[in-house]
Structure 1
Amino acid sequence: WQGKFYEQTAGTSMGSPLSPVLADIFMEEFESSSLLTADLRPSLWLRYVDDTFVVWPHGPDTLQDFLQYLNKQHTSISFTMEQEQHGTIPFLDVKISRNPDGTLGHSVYRKPTHTDRYLHQRSFHHPSIKSSVNRTLVQRAFEVCDQDNLKRELQHIQTSLQRNGYKPNRIKISKPDQRVPYTQGPPTVSPSVTLPYIGPASHHLQRILRQAGVKVYHSSGNKLQGSLHTHKDKQDSSSKPGVYRIPCECGKVYIGETGRNLPTRLKEHRAHGRRGDFDKSAIVKHSHINDHKVDWDAAELIAPIQFWHPRRIREAIEIRKHNTVPQDIGFHLNDIWLPLLQTDGSPIP
């Protein structure tokens, strides 16, 4: 950020698929040890990821002491607390309330900043995407609300969808059918394709592909997100792994792949030349045999690719597309793909 690199000193990286698993394991251990040694314990402790619903039967005076006790158990864990107001409290997307008979009621919770703004009926999206808005809201109402709050929530959904341009006769507020049809034998996997939605032509193409047994899914076209630029500093492409190209003064090039950065790989090539290990670098061997000069400064990364197998495939493709020095052709490509790689009209060996 602004030319500076920051190191995360605790926890896993943001976005890592391992993060929620490790966090859950840590919290289970934290809860077991902390609740076991507490002087007073809640009668109910329910947690979803990092949100916890607690029933405290010991009065409000001792609740603050319990919060301070939890925050002293680990230096990296800090709890905040929200208490019920006027007999209600939100937990995730559920609003929990006390009923006069002592039971708990539950309804859909919306933040004060919620505007009931959903995908408008006149927006240029496939009809199935618009109908999913109706279906998702109704399904959540049936899953979250009790019988006393369900009718009120369904009425709210109907009013909100009408404000977003949906016609009353097209709004469905009945309980979605979640039954899965029973089939004998292994499930059949149908071919599918995702296409951009472009209006009536998409519907026509969908009917044709459906007759051929192909499922069609539609994606939206240009979005505002694609026009917005990130504020992060751009990383130099040469610092990434990928497929690279080294030119020679004779017009030929060397194509290679590396899991390290390009400067490191170039140093290895040049080191082979200084030590006389010409068989370890095709470009160095070509330069030595033909007394050619390698343009090391013009070497470039032509395809940043992180994983080894895709890199090997791309390397083989680029070798076929370029006029290369004598080198290993790399990953075997079926000859059926060669016409697609022939971009300049010259034959591909």
Structure 2
Amino acid sequence: MDEYDKNNLKKVNNKLFRYVDDLPIVTKMYEDELKSYVDEQNSLKGTIKFTHEFEENNQLNYLNTTLTWNTTEKRIDIKWYRKDTGSNRLLHYESGHHKSVKINIIKNMTNRIIDTTRNNIQQKDDLNKLSGILIKSKYRKYFIDDTIMTCLKQVNNNIIPTTNTIQTFKNSKNDMEYILSLPYVNGMKVLKRKFEKLNNKLDFSYPKKLNSLVTSTIKPPSKAVVYQIECECGSIYNGETKVGLTNRSKQHDSIIEKDDENSSSEM
């Protein structure tokens, strides 16, 4: 794709950005001109083919963002975007996961919005959308608000762990005698606290992940077989093959037709 950019997209190369195979282009072309340009690229010999989407109302959705052309300030505004086809559901609050997992889900989504949406009004709107998604997944309102507020405070105060904090963490880690990992079930946090009092650490694992339930790992049937061929003369030929019985039979037929005395085949 890099070579294709250099050789074939020279016309828009200085206004082209790419993430894997998604390319937003800043251009003065009208929609019909852009369509002609895409058709021209698709007519070139090669395996790379393009589809295109033109902005609507000065907006274009790109990956998990919405790009908006700000005509007043002559700039592109970026905000968080979630597809309409999304289920708008996250890990259910009453699922058998430790509370820290649920906190991290809120933190990760919140930080993504903070990093993406820079306009304060739009950011507030996006955080309200996130709050609605979390409420659908039965998260408590106070739990959502507290976690989001923690993230906002960290960003506003630019909190970075101090040297003393890091050193304290290292010392506490070195003081740990044993680290144990167990499958998580409700009530395990009581056991975790007891372990910490003994200077031992308890981590939780979730062995039954979603991909273990929905991913199909069907292996194709093996073509390796042992076979037996009976001849009209009464002789029997036993053989084995890894290419499948059909292909092996064709090989035998070909050898018999050639009737080569120097052949290494026993047929």
1:29 aligned partner: 3
Aligned counterpart for 2:193 among listed residues 174, 186, 207: 207
Q: Matched residues in 1 for 2:4 and 2:50: separation?
A: 12
Identity %: 23
Aligned mate of 1:95, from 66, 71, 90: 66
2:123 equivalent in structure 1 = 150
Which residue pairs with 1:136 in the alignment?
Answer: 108
Cα distance between partner residues in 1 of 2:196 and 2:94: 26
CA change 1:62–1:211 in 2 (3 A) is same
The Cα shift of 1:45 comes to 0.4
Shift of 1:74: 4.8
Residue number among 1, 4, 12 corresponding to 1:41 in the alignment: 12
1:93 to partner: Cα distance: 0.2
Code of the residue aligned with 2:79 in structure 1: it is S
Q: Aligned pair count?
A: 209
The gaps in structure 2 that reach 5 residues or longer are 226-240, 243-267
TM alignment of 1:43-62, pairs within 5 A: 43-62=14-33
Structure 1 residue aligned with 2:94: 122
Q: Please tell me the residue identity of whatever aligns with 1:153.
A: D
Question: In structure 1, what is the Cα distance between the partners aligned to 2:122 and 2:49?
Answer: 34
SS for the counterpart of 1:173 is: helix
Q: Distance in 1 between matches of 2:43 and 2:131?
A: 48
Q: 1:214 to 1:68 in 2, by over 3 A?
A: farther
Name the stretch that deviates more: 98-107 or 153-162: 98-107
Instruction: Report if the CA contact (8 A) 1:195-1:217 is conserved.
Output: yes
TM-score normalised by structure 1 residue count = 0.52
Q: CA deviation at 1:181?
A: 3.7
CA drift of 1:144 comes to: 0.8
What's the counterpart of residue 104 of structure 1? Answer: 76
Q: Which residue of 1 aligns with 2:259?
A: none
Q: Give 1:65's match in structure 2, choosing from 14, 36, 44.
A: 36
**CA drift at 1:213:** 5.0
1:58 shift after superposition: 3.4
8 Å CA contact retained: 1:195, 1:219: yes
**Cα distance change on mapping 1:229 and 1:235 into 2, 3 Å:** farther
Change (3 A) 1:229 1:116: closer
Residue 179 of structure 1: which of 154, 157, 160 is its match?
160
Which residue identity does 1:66 align to in structure 2?
A: Y
- State which of 203, 209, 230 in structure 1 corresponds to 2:216: 230
Distance change in 2, residues 1:230/1:166 (3 Å):
closer
SS of 1:47 mapped into structure 2: coil
Secondary structure of the structure 2 residue equivalent to 1:85: coil
CA distance in 2, matches of 1:132, 1:197: 16
* Aligned-partner Cα distance in 1 for 2:29–2:210: 51
Which residue identity does 1:96 align to in structure 2? L
Quote the Cα distance in structure 2 between the aligned partners of 1:72 and 1:205: 65
What CA distance in whole angstroms lies between the structure 2 residues aligned with 1:68 and 1:155?
A: 41
